[in-house]
Structure 1
Amino acid sequence: MKTAVAHRAYPEVGRSTNGRVHYLHAAVAEEPVSIPHPLTPLLAPRSIALVGASETLNTPGNDMLHELRVSRYKGEIWPVNPKYEEIEDWTCYPSLSDLPFAPDLAVLAVGNHHLEALMGEAIRIGVKGLVIFGSAQLPGDTGHDTLQNRIQHLAIDAGVPIVGPNCMGYYNVEEGVRAFPFHLPRSLGDGGITFIAQSGSVLTSLLWNERKLAFNLAISPGNELVTTVADYMDYALDLPSTKVIAMFLEAVRDPGGFVAALEKAQARGVPVVLIKVGRSVAAAALAMSHSGAMAGNDDAYEALFRRYGVIRVSSIDELASTALLFAQGRRPGPGGLAAILDSGGEREILLDLADQLNVPMANINHNTVQVLKDNLDHGLEPINPLDAWGTGNHYDVIYENCWQALMEDPDTAVGLFIADLTSGFYLHESFAHICRRVKMRVKKPMAIMTNHVGSEHQDLAIRMTQAGLPVLDGTQPGLLAVMHLLEYRDFQARPQYDLPESIDPAIVQHWRDRLDRVDRPLGEFEALSLLSDYGIAVPQMQVVEHRDEAVAAAETIGYPVVLKTAMPGIFHKTDVGGVKLNLHNRSEVIEAYDELAAALGPMVLVSRMARGEVELAFGLLNDRQFGPLVMVAGGGVFIEMLKDRQVALAPMDLGAAHRCINALKSRPMLNGFRGKPPCDLNALARALCQFSQLADDLGDRINELDVNPVKVSAQGCVAVDALVTPRQFRS
């Protein structure tokens, strides 16, 4: 049993909102106490029963025995199969009930038609965890009465965690446990990477083939009937050895638990690197607003990842390089990348790609430049990145002195020694020796990078990585890894801001009650009143039903004014000619009112003509997994054609609002152009924060909220039009 921080269950070891059992811990005390994680019997068992064990080679029943042997598991191993008395020198038992005592873990390598009975037996004798390789599906399974549902309920009711079904099990390298249906006769060294992959092929692609990666835990969670990715993350975050969590995700089956695990990772400074597939899922058919039409399912994940500093990657190569660099354990300080090479041409490749990926290069100072000048052969430039290869005379001294100077420069955050390594080649072996010597003197993160993935360097690369100098294969994956390392540094260094102030509870309750009662979109006057109650500036306005009222309202509000149809059921007023802009006097108001009343009806909204140099849009959607999402987007062509938008979880603080605004493609327009003064970015960010508070308070009562346009100027920002559709509304 490991010493761990005292924990409480989250919210207890019990049911989640989707029926699964939570196995999450959240620290509540600083004093170390011996409390095992709820998944310890499953992932670090003291005894294992292998049900379906077999003498037949190259079958899961036989391979799982060899896996435990090669992993040097020290606990009890009990094969279970009524066909044998002994398998591979282990006594074989006819059933689980015949075992000397209940094992911590039972691995079920049996046909689907045996699963239900075996699970019942395992639970009855007190097995504490299960691994199920099979699919748990039977011919004719339909509706709710399926094998998967039945075994799920059995496990939930008994509080028994399951890896699977439809999985490849796991490697707990740290504990010497392999519950795996395929045998690879290779031992693995302990490391700091936890790898969770919802694809067995992705799991083995790195677990078996990338020998530079050193894992403490690798899991194929399968269908996650009971135990989810979030639970495995939580277990890994209680391991002192975990330096990075790498994942391949197709879906998040326990959103609340997943968010809790990300919060725990953020609190403990453990980076999470993942591939999340499924970016192209469409948002919603027949969405009524820009918010609904523009925000797809993937936007919620992007917002979640940004909030918690999750590093999203696009390929397995990028995942491997990034996990490898983070697993080194060193974190960068201020500054950028320093690099040394032995090729001018490859230096140009590096600079082009670094510029493309926005990887900053270190601005080396005068002292560093002088050291380079004092060491380099004549004709070589003392710059970063540095091509240090000249005549080859005394190259070892030149490279070591120059590399040391580059790494010690105050603006160097991370260093790359770049060479297309060949194992056994004297030059590259000496480069490796130089890197080891410099690493001992400098505490900054450092790696070796090849420009070609297929370089003949595996032996040297493994030796260097094991010595704490990871070898990153390929220029682009390597630079992406550096970029992610610096991004995570910047995420951790973000200043903390307070969330927007809470709104008067009476106002919140008023709008919750109102949205509960209405089954159609709010009229514009009411929608803008909602925004105003949340501290977002709106034009002075009044709803009228007669010409004289329109004139009186315009004169009270002050010219110029806008007239818009306020007739119920008209949501996109411009499309039906329902907006009359920039009216400067009584006669223009009368003419505009008469036209609107004749064409669309007598109810009209009169409002002050809002001015602004730039038009943006705000939006709200309530994501079914992660709750209310807030969108800020460029107006006009930017939102329609360029999909210029940023999405965040609600509520957001002022820093998050500024980051969303700064990430817009249309952001330069806010700086002022054609002689116009810069827009008030602080006012815009405050309005976005207040909008996010609205989303947090009322998002569960709203299907969509679209504020378009939001006009921004040097004097502030004002919401000009809004569409609010309550949750009961069906178009």
Structure 2
Amino acid sequence: MNLQKLLNPESVAVVGVSDKPGFGYNAADGVLGSSIAQHAYFVHPRRETFKGRKCYRSLSELPEIVDCVILCTPCHTIPSLLEEAGQSGIQAAIIYASGFSEEGTQTGILLEQQVKSIALKYDLAVLGPNCMGIMNNVENINMWGGNVKSPGKISTGIGLVAQSGFVCSELLSAGYLSVSYAISSGNGNICNLEDFLSFLADDANVSVIAIYLEGIKAPGLFLDTLRRAARSQKPVVVLKTGRTRRGAQAAASHTGSMAGASEVFAGIFKKYGVLVADTLEEFICMAQALCVLRGNYPRGTRYGMISLSGGESTLSADLAEELGVNLAELSPKSKENIQKYIPSFASAKNPLDATTALFGDEARTVALLKTFADDPQVDAITVGANVKFSMNPTMKALCSAMATAVQKGIVTKPIFAVPSLENYRHPETRQVLEAAGVPLMSSMGTAFQCLKKIAEFSNYRYEDRNLTVCIPKDHHKDTAAAMSESDSKQELMNCGIPVPAQAIVRSEEELKEAFRKMQLPIALKINSSEILHKTEAGGVKLNVTSVEDALLAVRQIRENVKEAMPQASTDGILLQEMAPAGVEIIIGIINDPQFGPMLLTGLGGIFVELLKDTVLYPAPINKTEAEMILKSLKTSRLLTGYRGSAPCDLEALEDLMVKISEYAALHKDTLKEMDLNPVFVYPQGQGVCAVDALIVKYPGK
């Protein structure tokens, strides 16, 4: 299919034009205002003209084979019109109508299947159904079904894709987004969201990709697109809905029960350096700020902040600490230089209350900005800029100072203008600042959230990640089966993972023989692939120190299991050396049906469910990623030494995490999940030990 014909057509036909408000009018009016107006045709079986332009009765009557047809007619008319388009040699179509699979009815689903079949038959690139269309501001082509006017040509801007026509329309109507392309993907069962993202990732006219995301249909293409965007340093901003919806849960292990759809996406976004917005305001603010910066992103996470009032300065300090925005520690030399530009009663600090002394003084403001920028501890600068309804002389001088400082190269570090309230985003001010590469942010709270995430993005290095896409080829419908603990641990040993010495015994003689070879104390466990929670079934005895106690323990375990789970098959008793206690960590794998194996890491033992301090991250990983994952745990201080405890052997733990992730990637088509809980982590230089293990695989694979 030819996305160029869909997104950048040289000729179009609008079917179902109308004088009444709605798709038929908006689409026809939009193309008339586009650069391709001379090659825009209108089709209606009962109309003679639209706005003085001839209407044709059918697509077959058009004087040329157009690149794209825009269908503004009800759902039941779409199959025949699409068939006619395909027979005519048209290669792309936009379908606005609803009434298809989104309705959830058998009729709607079958209708969309029919439309998809026709599209495949003629290799048609189809947007929709149930969409709002496309706005291409790179070439000034308006194929939008809503009442949104094109702002004219935008050479480099935001590529916006939304799985909601309403949200996409609202963003286009905001008036302060520099959008190169706006694409309302609709149901996305023919050309899907991932197809458009892939196009935007390769388009030089797109500096930022912004996605309103509900779900994914082509996970491999989605991850490959994120990988390409990361490598080309093209920012991707996502607003993901459904963050509280849990994915399918697997009761067999802690790992399975703690891995939900939201956590999977969070891990993916972290790996590929995607900026995640929590609200629409954040989404708009962050995407536009990154667009305006034109690649001049902060080179670190420390901000210098300038305000013109004490109240604003205090609010900045509070928000920075509460939201995790790092304030730069100014050098004595910087403070000395700052004092030259503020009154003697003011204090040179960060955030700075520069007082009203700077009101209207452009030269001093530029000098102050340069002083902040010259401090090596400052990575970016924010300036409180409250322009309400007009560009008064005071604010004009302030905004002019910011623009001048950047345009003349006096300040090369990024500057952000931060108003106190959203309605202070004055259009003329925005134009002056953005022309110079200074983003005019949203209100302080939203702006500071964005500043934190932009700073984190500035630290992202794709070279530090293993960006291998690891999508399972098979989507299993059969039931997975657990391996016994002994078999699971043998699998780990084959990967070089340390586990306690173990043996399977099926008779008293075997028990005595194995017992003599082990260091005491030992643990005895029922060996069964069907009893996953052995303690609850009475199938575990710990701290056994003699053969006599071991024989007694075996009899008790068998009696307990027979009573608790009489139908479960067993295969002897597992004898295992009891490893010395260490810091307990859980390491697990959940193989997501869409995105493949995800590594779960967190505080282990009995605290897994209580604290839920875990991180989910796509496999495979490297040592740098393992270190990053461990540092992101809230309880990471337990690993680095806390209240006199010795630092743990992080290198050995990171090595284990990497090996497990590589095992999962290698077995992505057979592994369902894995659970190592606990893994004992010992003091530095003393290694790790996987004390308990469970591997769940698909049978016969």
CA contact (8 A) 2:301 2:456 kept: no
Larger CA deviation: 599-608 vs 438-447 = 599-608
Letter in 1 for 2:365: Y
| Partner Cα distance (1:411, 1:63) in 2 | 52
How far 1:460 moved relative to its partner?
2.2
Residues 582-630 of structure 1 show CA distances to partners (whole Å, capped at 9, x for unaligned) of 2334444344334224433782111111123211112222211111112
Q: Pick from 12, 18, 41: which aligns with 1:48?
A: 12
Does 353-362 or 312-321 show the bigger shift?
Answer: 353-362
Q: 1:713 to 1:597 in 2, by over 3 A?
A: same
Aligned mates of 1:186, 1:105 — CA distance in 2: 19
Letter in 2 for 1:368: S
Question: In angstroms, what is the RMSD of aligned CA positions?
Answer: 2.5
Q: Distance in 2 between matches of 1:109 and 1:229?
A: 21
8 A Cα contact 1:50 1:106, kept in partner: yes
Q: Name the CA distance, whole Å, in 2 between partners of 1:63 and 1:102.
A: 23
CA distance in 1, matches of 2:149, 2:622: 52
CA–CA distance in structure 2, aligned partners of residues 498 and 304 of structure 1: 10
Aligned-partner Cα distance in 2 for 1:98–1:392: 68
Give yes or no for contact 1:250–1:278 (8 Å, CA) kept in 2. Answer: yes
Q: 1:421 to 1:518 in 2, by over 3 A?
A: closer
The C-alpha deviation readout for 1:404-451, integer Å capped at 9, x for no partner, is 211232222221111322222221111111111111222222120112
Preserved contact between residue 301 and residue 452 of structure 2 (Cα < 8 Å): no
SS at match of 1:259: helix
Q: 2:661 & 2:357 partners in 1: Cα distance?
A: 62
CA distance in 1, matches of 2:514, 2:379: 62
Cα distance between partner residues in 2 of 1:122 and 1:186: 27
Shift in CA distance, 230/568, structure 1 to aligned 2, threshold 3 Å: closer
Matches of 1:466 and 1:282 in 2, distance apart?
A: 44
Partner amino acid, structure 2, of 1:339: M
Give the Å deviation of 1:337. 0.9
Q: What's 2:347 paired with?
A: 381
User: 1:10 — aligned with what?
Assistant: none
Q: Does 1:484 align with 2:447?
A: no
Give the corresponding residue for 2:306: 340
- Indicate how the Cα distance of structure 1 residues 185 and 580 shifts in structure 2: closer, same or farther if over 3 A, else same: closer
- Which sections of structure 2, spanning at least 5 residues, go unmatched? 469-473, 563-570
Is 1:189–1:215's contact at 8 Å kept on the other side of the alignment? no
CA contact (8 A) 2:301 2:459 kept: no
User: TM-score scaled to structure 1, two decimals?
Assistant: 0.88
2:557 alignment partner, one of 590, 596, 621: 596
Residues 481 and 698 of structure 2 are in contact (CA less than 8 Å); yes or no, is this contact kept in structure 1? Answer: no
Secondary structure of the residue that 1:266 maps to in structure 2?
helix
How much does 1:529 deviate? Answer: 0.3
State the alpha-carbon separation in 2 of the partners of residues 687 and 636 from structure 1.
17
Preserved CA contact (<8 Å) 2:163 2:213: yes
Deviation, 1:496, is 5.6
Post-superposition offset of 1:674: 5.2
Q: Is the 8 A contact 1:597 1:603 kept in 2?
A: no
Q: Map of 1:176-187 to 2, 5 A cutoff?
A: 176-185=140-149, 187=151
Q: 1:393 to 1:534 in 2, by over 3 A?
A: closer
> Which whole-Å CA distance do the structure 2 matches of 1:518 and 1:479 have between them?
47
1:57 is matched with which residue?
A: 20
The alignment status of 1:721 with 2:692, answered yes or no, reads yes
Quote the residue 1:438 is aligned against.
Answer: 405
Which of 172, 185, 191 is residue 207 of structure 1 equivalent to?
172
Distance 1:103 1:136, change over 3 A: farther
**Aligned partner (choices 578, 588, 600) of residue 619 of structure 1:** 588
How much has 1:393 moved relative to structure 2? 7.8
Relative to structure 1, the CA distance from residue 51 to residue 667 in structure 2 (aligned partners, 3 Å threshold; closer, same or farther) is: same
Q: 122, 126, 132: which one pairs with 2:95?
A: 132
Q: Which amino acid aligns with 1:201?
A: F
* Structure 1 residues 518 and 351, CA gap change in structure 2 (3 angstroms): closer
Q: Does 1:425 align with 2:392?
A: yes
**What is aligned with 2:288?**
324
Question: In 1, Cα distance between the equivalents of 2:147 and 2:627?
Answer: 52
Partner of 2:667, secondary structure, is: helix
Contact 1:388–1:399, Cα closer than 8 Å, also in 2: no
**1:340–1:387 contact (8 Å) kept in structure 2:** yes
Q: Secondary structure at the match of 2:594?
A: coil
* Alignment-derived partner of residue 51 in structure 2: 88
Paired residues for 1:231-242 under 5 Å: 231-242=195-206
Q: Which residues of 2 match residues 599-610 of structure 1 at below 5 A? A: 599-600=560-561, 603-610=572-579
Q: Larger deviation: 363-372 or 219-228?
A: 363-372
Letter in 1 for 2:652: A
Counterpart in 2 of 1:33? none
Aligned 8 A contact 2:14 2:43 in 1: yes
Counting only pairs closer than 5 Å after superposition, residues 640-719 of structure 1 correspond to structure 2 as 640-673=609-642, 675-714=644-683, 715-719=686-690
Alignment CA distance shift 1:568-1:651 (3 Å): closer
**Aligned pair in 2 of structure 1 residues 84, 355: CA closer, same or farther (>3 Å)?**
same
Map 1:208-607; keep pairs closer than 5 Å. 208-209=173-174, 211-285=175-249, 287-328=251-292, 329=294, 330-334=296-300, 336-391=302-357, 395-422=361-388, 423-440=390-407, 441-455=410-424, 457-492=426-461, 495=464, 520-600=481-561, 603-607=572-576
Task: Please state whether the residue corresponding to 1:284 is helix, strand or coil.
Answer: coil
Within the alignment, does 1:198 sit opposite 2:169 as a pair? Answer: no
Q: Could you state the TM-score of these two structures normalised by the residue count of structure 2?
A: 0.91
Where do 5+ consecutive residues of structure 1 fail to align? Answer: 1-12, 14-37, 500-511
Using the TM superposition, give the Cα deviation of residue 717 of structure 1 relative to its aligned residue in structure 2, in angstroms: 1.0
Structure 2 SS opposite 1:175: coil
Superimposed CA distance per residue, residues 609-655 of structure 1 (whole angstroms, 9 cap, x where no aligned partner): 11232111122222111111121121134320221111111111111
Secondary structure of 1:471 counterpart: coil
SS of 1:472's equivalent in the other structure is coil
Kindly tell me the number of residue pairs found equivalent between the two proteins.
Answer: 677
